[in-house]
Amino acid sequence: MKTWKYFELSEFEWLNWAQAEKLTKAYASGYRALGLKAHDKLTIYADTSRDWLFTAMAAVQQSITITTAYATLGEEGLVYSLQECEVSTIFTNAELLPMIIKVFAKVHHLKNVVYSGTADAKVVEKLKSEFHGFHRLKVISLAELAELGEKNLCEPVPPKAEDLALIMYTSGTTGPPKGVMLTHANVVATVSGAHTYCNTYLKEDGSEYYLAFLPLAHILEFAVEMTFLYMGIRIGWGSVKTLTDTSVRNCKGDIRELRPTVLAGVPAVWESIRKAVSGKIAGASSISQAVFNGAFSLKWNLMSMGMDYLAAPLDAIVFNKIKDQVGGRLKFALSGGAPTPKSTQQFLSVTCVKTISGYGMTECSAVLALQEVVQCTTLGITGAPVTSVEVKLVDVPDAGYRSTNVPKPQGEIWVRGASIMKGYFKQPELTKEILTDDGWLMTGDIAEMNKDGTLQIIDRKKNLVKLANGEYIALEKLESNYKTSKFVQNICVHADSEQSYAVALIQPIEKEIRTVAAPLYPDTDINSVDYDELCRRKEVRDAVLASLKDVAKKVGFKPAEIVGQVFICHEDGLHKTDS
């Protein structure tokens, strides 16, 4: 069984604009004192926080290019990005300093490490003792950097529009990570398009609050925070680990403490909220369940007819308790980074907050299309293109997708505009594979266009697999829907062109596995059974497979899209169902 760690947090502490400017100028001057100059590269390898963003703003002040690394990045990926960019200085968290010790001998340009938080003195001394040739690694805290900067204040060095603002590394699932080169003009264009959208729903008078917790190394969070800084929206930084009250003690979780008016998340976050609420409802009395289900159906019908103002009594009786768990004053929530299951978007829009889908990618500086809040009942669409880009659909004839199809044009999404990347860092051949000579970015995503100009993603070009029976299936589509099963923590769907069905690899939720196993083995104390062994049992695997087939039936999957076998992936092994 897992051992849970709980956190105790203080209230949010706020800085005004003058304080923020003073601090970022000190950081910027400190980096200059360490030897960085315009167009040098500074890697940010840290968890999302105020320190992350202020470090980025300090780099922008001096025209220093930011390179990003996820705080969860492994040794190999970190070494690759540091070496490729010839990075001399890295900003990180105190908790990540042991990883710097591991990679230091393999990165030949690294000279300076700046860290935030309270570090283990032994780890710091160990780092300070490391050296390359004749130079020793300089290790200082963020507070020491600010002090250094205050003693050596520098005037800003404003960047030019086409200077590199970011080299943002993507996951590299099909090879080494790719460094996406984004210019300052790209970032400004993205902020412009996002602002045009947001100012319809959010005020710019300082009364709005945003809770930041997604990785800033991901373009979605970076673009959102840049936009909200421009709009004067107050940003409070939290963590996935402390979002809700379940992981904290003697305090509120981040959401209830800040009470944001707008929120951005990825499907995994929304899924966890939906499953938590659904679990409580499933444990309630039959009368309570009937009341909830009736209120849910009625409110959804009212919302679908544009009459959600009539749902106020339903909120007061049923849904406000759920809304309070996410702060109680959210105007809307954005889901991006991956497809959101329709059932999850519907559930959240009824019970918590109107939830909209966005579509984009790192290569177009995040934002390509956004669903309007009033369209939240039109499930499955990503909305219309934002004002910073133009979009067209290009034929994929092998799969039958053509821009001339009726009633809806279909094809691969190509996008062009001021927010499109400069290319992949030091990878011109890869750049040519995705960018045309006249500036079109080939996304690889297949969509259809609705009459109102909104897009609906229906496939992924690279993830289309032709089965032995000749039918094509889209793996991402299957994964996003099967993930709604109560048993699924994470899922990967695999298909082979020599087989007639796909298989699912599942990382299960232990609580649900034990719950379903209890009635299957009434004479056994399920909580005492080894979890690894439990996952091996055929009856348990059959229950998981049956749940996936139930999901497939509800969403209307065709036979080829129904998984035929399930693998349950546990920490200690991989367990396969019987054929």
* Partners of 445 in beta bridges: 460
Domain with CATH 3.40.50.980 in the chain: 17-159
Q: How far apart are CA 376 and CA 302, in angstroms?
A: 13
Query: Which positions ≥6 away from 133 have C-beta within 8 Å?
Result: none
* Partners of 105 in beta bridges: none
* pTM beyond 0.75, yes or no: yes
**pLDDT at residue 347, as a whole number:** 96
| pLDDT tens per residue across all 579 residues of the chain | 455 567 788 889 999 999 999 999 999 999 999 999 999 999 999 999 999 999 999 999 999 999 999 998 889 989 999 999 999 999 999 999 999 999 998 998 999 999 999 999 999 999 988 766 556 789 999 999 999 999 999 999 999 999 999 999 986 545 678 999 999 999 999 999 999 999 999 999 999 999 999 999 999 999 999 999 999 999 999 998 888 887 788 899 899 999 999 999 998 889 888 888 888 898 899 999 999 999 999 999 999 999 999 999 999 999 999 999 899 999 999 999 888 889 999 999 999 999 999 999 999 999 999 999 999 999 999 999 999 999 999 999 887 899 999 999 999 999 999 999 999 999 999 999 999 999 999 999 999 999 999 999 988 887 778 787 777 788 878 888 898 999 998 899 998 887 888 999 999 988 899 999 999 998 888 888 888 888 888 999 999 999 999 999 988 888 889 999 998 886 544 343 333
CB 117 within 8 Å of CB 93? yes
Nearest partner of 419 among 191, 209, 143, 257, judged by Cα: 191
Q: How far apart are CA 186 and CA 194, in angstroms?
A: 12
Both structure tokens of 310: 């009539």
Strand segments, DSSP code E, in 288-405 are 332-335, 355-359, 369-370, 384-385, 389-394
Q: How far apart are CA 383 and CA 484, in angstroms?
A: 23
Pairing between β-strand 164-169 and β-strand 179-183 as defined by DSSP bridges: antiparallel
Domain with CATH 3.30.300.30 in the chain: 464-568
**pLDDT at residue 1, as a whole number:** 46
CB 208 within 8 Å of CB 259? no
Distances (CA, A) of 397 to 233, 382, 394, 402, 439: 46, 23, 9, 6, 23
Q: How far apart are the first and last CA of the chain?
A: 30
Topology classification of domain 231-460: Rossmann fold (3.40.50)
**pLDDT at residue 574, as a whole number:** 39
Burial of residue 504, with CB atoms counted within 10 A of its CB: 0-12 exposed, 13-18 middle, 19 or more buried: buried
**pLDDT at residue 527, as a whole number:** 87
Answer whether the bond into residue 407 is a cis peptide, omega within 30°: yes
**pLDDT at residue 151, as a whole number:** 97
**pLDDT at residue 261, as a whole number:** 98
Domain 464-568 has CATH 3.40.50.1000: no
Nearest partner of 385 among 466, 310, 443, 320, judged by Cα: 443
Q: How far apart are CA 129 and CA 7, in angstroms?
A: 33
Q: How far apart are CA 186 and CA 363, in angstroms?
A: 10
**pLDDT at residue 575, as a whole number:** 41
Topology classification of domain 17-159: Rossmann fold (3.40.50)
Q: How far apart are CA 576 and CA 568, in angstroms?
A: 7
Only one residue has tokens 């009625």, namely 298
